[in-house]
Amino acid sequence: MTDPLLSVRDFSVVYDVDPPVEAVKHVTLELARGEILGLAGESGCGKTTLAYGIQRLLKAPAVITSGAVTFHDAGGIEIDINGLDPEQMRRFRWDKVSMVFQGAMNALNPVATIGSQLEDVFEIHRPDFSRRRRRAEVADLLEIVKVGADRARSFPHELSGGMRQRVMIAMALALRPQLMVMDEPTTALDVLVQREILKQISQLRHEFGFSVIFITHDLPLLLEISDRIAIMREGEIVELDTAEAIWNRPQDEYTRTLLSSFPRLTGDKGVVTR
C-alpha cells in the first residue's frame, strides 16, 4: 500500500463488565487513500466497536486496552488520534473523519428543518462562514446527494427513508472529510433504494476522493462496492483481501461459511457449497 490514509496497529477493546468481554482483539489494518474498505461479519463480532474505537467515540464500560491509530493527513502530516486532547478531537471529527451512524436516518431532529440541521455543521465547524455562505453550502450539498436544494425547508417527516439517509450522507460530506465511516447505512431501506444510495456513494467517492470504511453483515453487498474486505469474527480480523479474492479464493473457513449463507438466484436448489 503506497499511500495509506489510516493505520491501525494492535488495536484492542474490552468491555469492563463481569466477566470482561474482549470485543476487539489486536486488530491491525491499513486503509488506502480513496479506498472503500468493507468490514463484514455477523452481529456482535466487533465491527461497530472497532469503528467507534478508532474515532474515540466509545463510552464506558468500553476501554481501549492497546493499540495505535494514525491518520496520515495531506502533506505527510501524521496525526496520533489517541494522543489528541478533547478540543483537538472535536476539531478532527467531521473535518478529517465523518461518520454515518447505524439508524442515522432516524436521528434527524423532527422539529427542525433539513436545512437548519445541515447549517449547524458549518456554524460549529466553520464559524467564519456568513449565513449566506452556509445556506449556499447546504443547497450545494442537497444537490450533490440528489435530494434537491428546495427540500432545505422540509422537515424530516416530509422525506422518505432514502431521502433522509441521503441527508445524513450530505451531513457527513459537508466539510469534505478524507474518510467517511458508514455503519450499516442502508439496512432499513428497500433493495431499490439501497442500490441507488450505494451507487451514489461510489460516485461521490470518485468525485471527491475520500476513503470509506463500510460496515455491514451483508457480504454480497460489500463484494459489489468494496476494493478490499476485512472479515471479522469474535473481535478478530480472520481474513483481509481484495473483493475479487474474497469471492473467488476465500482462505478462511468462516469466510466460506459467510459466503455460503446467502442464497443464489440461479442454479439448482439445495445447500450452497464452495
Residue-range domain boundaries for the chain? 4-260
pLDDT average, residue stretch 151-163: 93
Closest alpha carbon to 63 in 8, 121, 11, 136: 11
Q: How many CB atoms lie within 10 A of CB 45?
A: 23
The Cβ of residue 262 has, within 10 Å, a number of other Cβ atoms equal to: 12
- Give me the chain's average pLDDT, please: 91
Q: What is the pLDDT of residue 269?
A: 57
**Banded pLDDT at 195 (limits 50, 70, 90):** confident
Stretch 72-95: mean pLDDT, rounded? 92
Helices (H), the chain: 47-54, 86-92, 114-125, 131-144, 161-173, 191-208, 219-225, 243-248, 253-260
Measured in whole angstroms, the distance separating CA 15 from the mean position of its chain's CA atoms is 22
* Residue 155 CB partners (closer than 8 Å, separation 6+): 110, 111, 112, 113, 114
User: Which pLDDT value is given to residue 270?
Assistant: 55
CATH 3.40.50.300 fits 4-260, yes or no: yes
Sole residue written with cell 482462505: 251
Number of Cα atoms under 13 Å in the Cβ half of residue 81: 25
Average pLDDT (210-216) is 95
pLDDT given for residue 26 in this prediction: 97
Percent of the chain with pLDDT over 90: 76
pLDDT digits (tens, 9 = 90+) for 95-152: 999 999 877 667 889 999 999 999 999 999 999 999 999 999 999 999 999 999 999 9
Residue with cell 476513503: 211
Name the grid cell of 77: 502530516
Supply the pLDDT for residue 267. Answer: 57
| Cβ atoms of residues 214 and 226 within 8 Å | yes
Q: Return the closest-CA partner of residue 172 out of 72, 55, 28.
A: 55
| Measured distance CA(118)–CA(154) in Å, rounded | 12
Q: Is the torsion defined by CA of 78, 81, 82, 88 positive or negative? A: positive
Q: Are 4 and 30 in contact (CB under 8 A)?
A: yes
Map residue 155 onto helix, strand or coil: coil
Mean pLDDT of 236-261: 94
Confidence of residue 264 (pLDDT cuts 50, 70, 90): low
Pairing of strands 211-216, 36-40: parallel
Q: 33-81, pLDDT tens digit by residue?
A: 999 999 999 989 999 999 999 999 999 999 999 999 999 998 789 999 9
